[in-house]
A = this chain, B = another copy of it.
Amino acid sequence: MTPPNRQLVNERVQGEEAGPGDVSAMLERGRTLATPELRAAVERLAPPMDTVAAYHFGWIDAEGRPSDSGGGKAVRPALALLSAEVTGGAPETGLPGAVAVELVHNFSLLHDDLMDGDEQRRHRDTVWKVHGPAQAILVGDALFALAGEILLELGTPEAGRATRRLTMATRKLIDGQAQDISYEHRDRVTVEECLEMEGNKTGALLACAASIGAVLGGADDRTADAMEAYGHHLGLAFQAVDDLLGIWGDPRATGKQTWSDLRQRKKSLPVAAALGSEGPAAARLAKLMTEDAKKSQAEFEDFHEAEFAERAALIEEAGGREWTAQEAQRQHATALAALDSVEMPGGVRDQFAALADFVVVRRG
């Protein structure tokens, strides 16, 4: 049951890398408007937390020299600004929401990197590695608190509603991280569990980003809920593509190693889907993974490329790759369907659609 737009998207995968022109402009607008506000917010922090946060955001290097290590695609701020236009407002109405969502996102990165022991993010040492665990905890906490501060100082009922939604999204983010940690100790995870975890870890904050501008612009709960649904499914589509790239992505485009997620024994969607299927490939994969689970991470990393290639081939043979590609399309379609129930200017709707397309065709 291939969704109708599958063909279209497969064609686009072969297309240009940076995404259509309107998506580039949208992301650029998010960065341009949100970055100065984000810097001003971080400057409120007492030393040395301001410096540690500036390092995390890539504005300075480990020695404190100005730097511009970028900050990812900034999909969330772009969404929050676009979201304000749903109710016909100026994109700037969504700006405090863009900043707050980005602060919460970075709070979670700081804490997750420490909990997961990840030493690198965006090709740089993580904060706990450079400034120690205490600063990673402390600055994460401070960014989370700043997010509420930035919104609530607007002093409007809309800001209260936006903060409530952001807080609930943050709780889901935390639930997702708790699930991710607990799954590490398990032999196997079902597709449903994997989707729930990814919905919490990726979907919840994109849902908030896609609705927060509208909420700040005075949208009713029904509109906000529909925009959240769009963002939630956008997040799941994004994550499905991410899971595909984590195994089959081109290292030149992703900046990660080949078979990256397999090396980390990550229980991502293609793995869960493959293990959940019937047949000899699934059985052989399950046997290999049960043996793998008994190995230490060091033993495991010593594997020959051929051993990772074998696992990747078995996942594909058992249907995990195809299922995940289809899942990305299903989530993409559900995200677009959620937009249908909301009245908004045509140009705004087109941009939400373009962003959804961009998310499922990206290659790195």
Residues of A participating in the B interface, judged by any CB pair closer than 8 Å: 46, 48-49, 107, 111, 114-115, 133-134, 137-138, 140-142, 144-146, 148-149, 152-153, 155, 157, 159-161, 163-164, 167-168, 170-171, 174-175, 177-179, 181-182
Contact = CB atoms under 8 A, between A and B. Distances in A.
B177 A138 contact: yes
A163 B148 contact: yes
Oligomeric state, in copies: 2
Contacts of A134: 115, 181
A contact patch SS: helix
A178 B49 contact: yes
7 contacts: A115-B138, A138-B181, A142-B171, A146-B171, A148-B167, A159-B160, A160-B160
B178 A48 contact: yes
A41 to B, nearest CB: 11
Contacts of A148: 148, 163-164, 167
B174 A48 contact: no
Residue among A133, A134, A137, A168 with max Cβ neighbours from chain B (10 Å): A137
A179 B142 CA distance: 13
B115 A174 contact: no
Nearest to A149: B167
Contacts of A182: 48
Contact of A138 (B48, B138, B160, B174): B174
B133 A145 contact: no
Residue among A115, A164, A168 with max Cβ neighbours from chain B (10 Å): A164
A140 B137 CA distance: 10
Contacts of A175: 46, 49
